[in-house]
Chains A and B, each alone.
Chain A
Amino acid sequence: MLVDVGLRLAWRNLWRHWRRTWLTVGAMIFSNGLLIFAMSLQFGSYDMMIDNSLHAYSGHLQLQHPRYLDEPKMRYALDNVAAIAERLRRELSLDSISARAAGFALASSEERSYGLQIVGVDPVHEPLVSTLPGLVKQGRYLKPGAAGEIVIGAVLARNLKISVGDELTFLGSGFDDSFAAGIVTVVGIFESGMADLDRALAQVELGYFQDVFAMQDRGHSLIVRARNIDDVESLQAQVKALLESNQDISLRHWEELQPGLRQAIQADMASNSFMYVVLVVLVAFSVLNTQLMSVLERTREFGTMMALGLQPARLSRLVMLETALMTALGLVLGIAVGLVVNLYLSRVGFSYPGMDEVALKFNLPERIYPAISLASMTLGPAAVAIGSLLAALYPALRLYLLTPIEAMRAV
């Protein structure tokens, strides 16, 4: 039997029961469309979660003292951070690298006192690694070389009952356990929408921080932001190569910096995968049902064909070919449906009642947009296709048990 003839035969067989075929293909289209829709939104929201979380503050990569990640204490600092930052920027020809130093302090206004995280930053490069400087809603961000200026989060400003132009005193302990204190003027108030940052973070100029906290030229981290999330791995390799000689600096990937983010994604993926698998299994049942019925009702016909000298393998192949045609139809139409839904959603975005609250928790915007990628468009349909073909194996292989005489006697 030529492939061409087999194909034509398979195609015609499919339409002997057009209702049954369409119902089975319909199940595939429904599942494919749903899988594409769900996966695209899922990947889209992960991308946004990662982007928003990392761009806000932590960056894609950080250089730190080896012990700083587990014990973020003042004494686990890097020497000469500004020089390392300068060298990295030059060697990598990447501007978005910035040094930070951080400490804890008790900040007091006229009326109130609050504990806060005070961070020394490089005002020139900080805006390139973090979106926070751009989120200053009142006043302005820090200026280079401006000692005695501070920007603070909106909630903190409200709790301290201060606004732009007011003075703030802070008290902490320095690198050498000395007393560290300063009086600063609030020049800006930022509002990121992320509770942790808005409630307990303040930034001052790095040089000023180093003076007050007796850090000399030290700092706690170098923040690296890649041009694109996909570049992170190659950038990591480059930085690693540059630092090879230095055992005192650890390079941290964002997954180490924000393990919660990665694990939240993993947990979400696990629960979604369960749902996807269930859908695929249900489609497989549909295909199994259809193909088994179609084989059983053709027992007589198959018996005749075998009596004419056809090998069971040929008949099995015919059944698999029919399934493949059905699957292909479901695949193409399902992807088309998924694409239309995705294109529509990528224009208007997707949201559901109450999503704004959830979105806030996971650093997401109020509408999410699907990520239309090869993976999100084909992973689901591919799983459905594989599930369908596997389900058709049973009816196809059953044909090997058929003997022509008995088969022809069948009703």
Chain B
Amino acid sequence: MTRLFSQFKTILTLSWRNLWRNHRRTGIMLGAISVGVWAMIFMTALMRGMVDDMLNQGISNLPGHIQIQHPEFLDDPSVVNSIDEPRGDLLAALENNGVRVWANRIKVPAVIMSERESRGINLIGIEPVSEADISGVPARISKGRFLESNQDKGLVIGAKLAERLETRLGKRVVITSQDPDNNLAERGFRVIGIYRAELAAQEESNVYAARGTLQDLLKIEGRVSQIVLVDDDYRNVESLYRRVAAATPAGLEVKPWYEIDTYLAVMFNMMDGFVLIWVIIIFLALSFGLVNTLVMAIFERVREIGLIQALGMRPGLIVYQILLESLMLLLIGLIVGNMLALVTIKPLEDGLDVSVVAEGMAMMGAGSVIYPSLTLYDVVLANVVVILLGILTSILPAWRASRLDPVRALNTH
């Protein structure tokens, strides 16, 4: 035990002092590792932030983490494919099972007409109490107010739609849709609120009314299009999904967000892959320099390596000594790189404005401000990859050094 500890101390001293022997080379390599690690973490945080934003927006546009609906509804969002408001087991499951928020929703295609223009829209009937947690629209009212009760007679439309319809707050518009018996359902509404959304397409197509008011208009008393659930974290909805699915009566379909919008699911899943590939590419670019540094460090010390072999240091210990040197280099580079990343991400916490390409971001489904998202997972991944692969690439030069012939090594100039 003492022997191992003592040997470890010996190679620790040798490694540390050898590292600083050629301080310029070590410095340059540290610079490279730091920049590489910084780029790994910084870029990942930005991409994560963007994808998080896409997912949040996408999910609040669905909306919800889990939806319960008629099996045909997603394909054919018609009033015909309505379901009963929850009761019995399902209601009990929703009320008692730690569901953070749930709500009934109605969603039907409709036409909105102002005095001058008409447009096709999604008419959405919501329950105002829970809407803030579901679509977030109540927080984005720019003029007027949001709906206040399930029987509110008002209508909330997007700013872009108001512009297209040449209408404004307080004006009346006419909504036309159809009831389940295929009769026209028509009714005048007063615009009581105008909202803004990150994505222009949402502003233009989503129109909000109270759930009860729409049930009257569409003659679907006690029936809704969807039941929408929101859990604490969209990344982790599996268990809620299973519990709710178990309580849902046959004939209804329960779907988590990632099955409803497969593009979002792909973005979500691809992100981890992207991070790994990015980290590995940067590492590979670094690895050439790392191996180079080690090979040169060994080359300069051939004689010394021969000497410590002659003095009786086992080849294994020589491998460890060189690996330790590489590890120290990597660790210092990682510390500096991580700190650089922290320091550069911190000022961007309030968001990086990319509104010059806002419509391009919208096309990808993201907003015009990126909020970098620094996750423990990504930071750990970057650090672990650098250390593991770093040690792995150092093994060959270290092993070669331990196989040097001591007599020849000692006779090198």
Binding site for B on A (CB under 8 A): 17, 19-20, 23-24, 26-27, 30-31, 34, 71, 73, 104, 106, 110-117, 158-159, 172-173, 200, 259-268, 270-271, 274-275, 278-279, 281-283, 285-286, 288-290, 292-293, 296, 352-354, 357-358, 360-362
B-side contacts of A278, CB under 8 Å: 35-36, 39, 43, 282
Known: A115-B121, A278-B282, A361-B365. 8 other contacts (CB 8 A): A19-B299, A104-B118, A111-B80, A173-B118, A263-B360, A285-B32, A358-B263, A358-B267
A sample of 29 inter-chain contacts (CB < 8 A) reads: A19-B299, A20-B296, A23-B291, A24-B292, A26-B288, A104-B117, A104-B120, A106-B111, A106-B118, A111-B182, A112-B78, A113-B109, A159-B109, A173-B118, A259-B359, A261-B363, A267-B360, A271-B46, A278-B39, A282-B285, A282-B289, A285-B28, A286-B32, A289-B289, A354-B270, A357-B262, A358-B263, A358-B266, A360-B263
Rounded to whole angstroms, the CA-CA distance of A260 and B286 in the bound complex is 36
A-side contacts of B361, CB under 8 Å: 263-264, 267
B-side contacts of A354, CB under 8 Å: 266, 269-270
Distance to closest chain A CB from B43 (angstroms): 6
Residues A17 and B299 in contact, CB atoms below 8 Å apart? yes
B24 within 8 Å of A by Cβ? yes
Residues B76 and A159 in contact, CB atoms below 8 Å apart? yes
Say which residue of A71, A159, A288 sits within 8 Å of B78 (CB atoms).
A159
Residues A34 and B281 in contact, CB atoms below 8 Å apart? yes
Rounded to whole angstroms, the CA-CA distance of A370 and B110 in the bound complex is 44
B119 within 8 Å of A by Cβ? yes
A-side contacts of B31, CB under 8 Å: 285
Residues B363 and A263 in contact, CB atoms below 8 Å apart? yes
Say which residue of B184, B266, B288, B295 sits within 8 Å of A30 (CB atoms).
B288
B-side contacts of A265, CB under 8 Å: 360
Say which residue of B24, B36, B282 sits within 8 Å of A296 (CB atoms).
B24
Distance to closest chain A CB from B377 (angstroms): 19
Distance to closest chain B CB from A297 (angstroms): 8
Residues A20 and B262 in contact, CB atoms below 8 Å apart? no
Interface positions, chain B 3-27, Cβ under 8 Å from A, are 22, 24-25
Residues B109 and A114 in contact, CB atoms below 8 Å apart? yes
Distance to closest chain B CB from A53 (angstroms): 10
Distance to closest chain A CB from B95 (angstroms): 34
Residues B364 and A200 in contact, CB atoms below 8 Å apart? no
Residues B24 and A275 in contact, CB atoms below 8 Å apart? no
Most buried by A among B25, B176, B360, B364: B360
Say which residue of B24, B43, B286 sits within 8 Å of A274 (CB atoms).
B43
B313 within 8 Å of A by Cβ? no
Residues B28 and A289 in contact, CB atoms below 8 Å apart? yes
Q: How many of B's residues come within 8 Å of A, CB to CB?
A: 65
Rounded to whole angstroms, the CA-CA distance of A112 and B36 in the bound complex is 58
Rounded to whole angstroms, the CA-CA distance of A354 and B261 in the bound complex is 13
Distance to closest chain B CB from A77 (angstroms): 15
A-side contacts of B43, CB under 8 Å: 271, 274-275, 278
With A263-B361, A278-B35, A286-B289 known to touch, is A113 a contact of B263 (CB < 8 Å)?
no
With A23-B288, A172-B118, A293-B25 known to touch, is A281 a contact of B35 (CB < 8 Å)?
yes
Rounded to whole angstroms, the CA-CA distance of A97 and B43 in the bound complex is 45
B-side contacts of A31, CB under 8 Å: 285
A-side contacts of B360, CB under 8 Å: 259-268
A-side contacts of B46, CB under 8 Å: 271
A270: nearest residue on chain B (CB-CB)? B357
A268: nearest residue on chain B (CB-CB)? B360
Rounded to whole angstroms, the CA-CA distance of A245 and B56 in the bound complex is 50
A360: nearest residue on chain B (CB-CB)? B263
B213 within 8 Å of A by Cβ? no
B409 within 8 Å of A by Cβ? no
A interface footprint on B148-167 (CB within 8 Å = 1, 0 otherwise):
00000000000000001000
Distance to closest chain A CB from B202 (angstroms): 14
B-side contacts of A262, CB under 8 Å: 360
B177 within 8 Å of A by Cβ? yes
Residues B363 and A264 in contact, CB atoms below 8 Å apart? yes
Residues B285 and A112 in contact, CB atoms below 8 Å apart? no
Rounded to whole angstroms, the CA-CA distance of A270 and B354 in the bound complex is 10
Distance to closest chain B CB from A32 (angstroms): 11
Say which residue of B273, B278, B296 sits within 8 Å of A293 (CB atoms).
B296
B-side contacts of A23, CB under 8 Å: 288-289, 291-292, 295
B233 within 8 Å of A by Cβ? no
Distance to closest chain B CB from A52 (angstroms): 13
Most buried by B among A260, A266, A296, A352: A260
Rounded to whole angstroms, the CA-CA distance of A360 and B365 in the bound complex is 13
B327 within 8 Å of A by Cβ? no
B47 within 8 Å of A by Cβ? yes
Residues B24 and A267 in contact, CB atoms below 8 Å apart? no
Residues B182 and A27 in contact, CB atoms below 8 Å apart? no
Say which residue of A259, A263, A290, A361 sits within 8 Å of B292 (CB atoms).
A290
A-side contacts of B267, CB under 8 Å: 358
Rounded to whole angstroms, the CA-CA distance of A26 and B352 in the bound complex is 36
Residues B282 and A263 in contact, CB atoms below 8 Å apart? no
Residues A115 and B178 in contact, CB atoms below 8 Å apart? no
With A104-B118, A114-B120, A289-B29 known to touch, is A266 a contact of B357 (CB < 8 Å)?
yes
Distance to closest chain B CB from A264 (angstroms): 4
B-side contacts of A17, CB under 8 Å: 296, 299
Rounded to whole angstroms, the CA-CA distance of A275 and B277 in the bound complex is 12
B76: nearest residue on chain A (CB-CB)? A159
A interface footprint on B331-372 (CB within 8 Å = 1, 0 otherwise):
000000000000000000000001011111111110000000
Rounded to whole angstroms, the CA-CA distance of A17 and B362 in the bound complex is 53
Distance to closest chain B CB from A72 (angstroms): 8
Say which residue of B119, B282, B357 sits within 8 Å of A267 (CB atoms).
B357
Distance to closest chain B CB from A35 (angstroms): 11
B75 within 8 Å of A by Cβ? yes
B-side contacts of A111, CB under 8 Å: 80, 182
Residues A106 and B295 in contact, CB atoms below 8 Å apart? no
Residues A263 and B357 in contact, CB atoms below 8 Å apart? yes
Residues B278 and A113 in contact, CB atoms below 8 Å apart? no
Residues A362 and B363 in contact, CB atoms below 8 Å apart? yes
